[in-house]
A and B are shown apart, each in its own frame.
Chain A
């Protein structure tokens, strides 16, 4: 891929040796002994983890490693058995999911949640925060919210163009294809102007050409100061845009580091392949096309 994007990589994010739980220079999210089990199965068991601010962090790991569950816990969609975590210094344990999102920590879902019977444009507008017209009493008086609504429309259309969905703006989201819904969900999350955006397999099912342009967009967002945490199985993409990689397996963080180094670590290769194999993980997994559950 282009050297241009390589040059955009942030470095010097951590303090000391890159190992699971390493301290970051400027962490935005700090996680401490978060544990969650379903019956006998421990889905997540994270001792300590810091996510660096202003950087793109990839969360990788084999299927069932607990990535989605960790996302659910961090965003208040599920409650951990124990543990605490803070976002920009504010404790988040026990805070309900919508408040977490209001603070600027916004997520997308692995199983896409397009709002089927709203149009694409309505889906987008719904994303924006602090809308006057969303309050019950104000909603009855259009002159209070009409102007803001029009501004949102302009912003939404810009994003839709970027995501190649502008032609579909008046269609019901139900009529979109699986990949388009994934895109819509990501664009909708960006409408909230998040501080930290957490994307659960954002590119699964999206065609490679569009992926490229969206990655550029994500890199731009980083430039504007947004922090990105994403789950992805495509190692090419991880290599391409991630500044930092966190590897999970069986609920635990087994490795952390810069993308190039971490994928060569034995623990990571073990986690993915289950045996001692002398290969670079990127070589193995980058070729595997991930077919995720779509069409829900």
Chain B
């Protein structure tokens, strides 16, 4: 009387998929727009506004607020008013967008800056963000340009994820540890840059490399002080994984203890827009960030493929016993891997701080799942797989917001993760295990 007979898993699967689709559609039908003019009222701060056309309130206009990893949207009420609660504190920046598609025919945002504006939370809440609208032609961005822009953002995001993911993957490959505290190494890099750059007032070109070095040192310290002794104690992998969860909680709340619950900005952001292609433009910071990611990843690939330690690392990932037997100093290689993993995660943190923008105590935890998704997609334990996985996840996250609500953009990536595992359980570049 078993629940499932695996005799026809195909049929079972397809009926389940049907059920799932039905559920999602059911939700979709229930979701009639224009009913909610305010969201997130339980949050302390908010952004509000009033959409009027020649003095008459305009209902049913979609408003979107994004920033600091938070997304929300609502639709103006019949009185033209809207309100969106935000989790940030004073000084945080949010991007407010008015969806011109939802304006009446022939009407567009006519004010300076178009349909999107950046607002900074002040002392008082709620903050008012209004748009001037009137007759006019919309400065619409063609679909093609939008896709290109999203691809470039996605590439940028993916490269950043890649920096974090390859380290996680290397650690997994050499030690078998699924390190949930990796996200805190990401946050650590950003916090270190903040302390050096804003606290000690060092110039950013000194502060950032120093933060990366500190992150590497942190990786070394964690290995020497925690992971190596635990390996020697003979802890099982699941045990180590749960220790990393404990470490992650500890570190995350220590960050909150010292930095507080709000968002801090790293100095040195340069938002000069550099036109790239059609209407696509990227800020100077984004361009520099991408360049840094690419150079560092190439350097990392060179290390992994050409140096002795790099080759030893791959040998250990392939077959630890054999590698140890053939005279590789496994402990030394693992130490190196931890240092590199820490440094790369730290750099990813700094870049992520500019991209979000802002530093927050749980900023690493926000992308931990995406990093894991990237590593899993690539095939657990293969560094280049992790890189490819990161690009896939990054691009997917950014482009998916063209089709689905912005606050669901991480969902797309996670669903794809599960989907790919259905068809290629060992990930994109992983290989199967030996049985028996």
A residues sitting closer than 8 Å to B (CB atoms) are 68, 71-72, 77-78, 96, 109-111, 135-138, 200
Contact = CB atoms under 8 A, between A and B. Distances in A.
Contact of A137 (B1, B6, B435): B1
Contacts of A110: 436
A68 B436 contact: yes
Contact of A96 (B1, B2, B6, B435): B6
Nearest to A200: B436
Nearest to A137: B1
A72 B436 contact: yes
A238 B436 CA distance: 22
Which of B1, B6, B436 is most buried by chain A, counting CB atoms within 10 A of its CB? B436
Query: Which 6 A-B pairs give the minimum distances between C-beta atoms?
Result: A135-B1, A77-B435, A137-B1, A109-B436, A72-B436, A68-B436
Contacts of A71: 436
Contact-residue size bin, chain B (C-beta under 8 Å from the other chain): under 10
Which of B1, B2, B435 is most buried by chain A, counting CB atoms within 10 A of its CB? B435
19 contacts: A68-B436, A71-B436, A72-B435, A72-B436, A77-B435, A77-B436, A78-B435, A96-B6, A109-B436, A110-B436, A111-B436, A135-B1, A135-B2, A136-B1, A136-B2, A136-B3, A137-B1, A138-B1, A200-B436
Contacts of B6: 96
A294 B285 CA distance: 57
Given A72-B436, A96-B6, A137-B1, 4 more contacts: A72-B435, A109-B436, A135-B1, A136-B3
B425 to A, nearest CB: 13
B382 to A, nearest CB: 15
A290 B377 CA distance: 41
A138 B2 CA distance: 10
Nearest to B3: A136
A96 B5 CA distance: 12
Nearest to A110: B436
Interface string B424-436: 0000000000011
B113 to A, nearest CB: 58
Contacts of B435: 72, 77-78
A215 to B, nearest CB: 23
Nearest to B435: A77
A110 B1 CA distance: 33
Nearest to A68: B436
A111 B434 CA distance: 11
A142 to B, nearest CB: 16
Interface string B401-436: 000000000000000000000000000000000011
Contacts of A138: 1
Contacts of A96: 6
Interface string B1-21: 111001000000000000000
A109 B435 CA distance: 9
A138 to B, nearest CB: 7
Nearest to A108: B436
A109 B436 CA distance: 5
Contacts of A137: 1
A163 to B, nearest CB: 22
A108 to B, nearest CB: 9
Nearest to A77: B435
A96 B7 CA distance: 9
B240 to A, nearest CB: 19
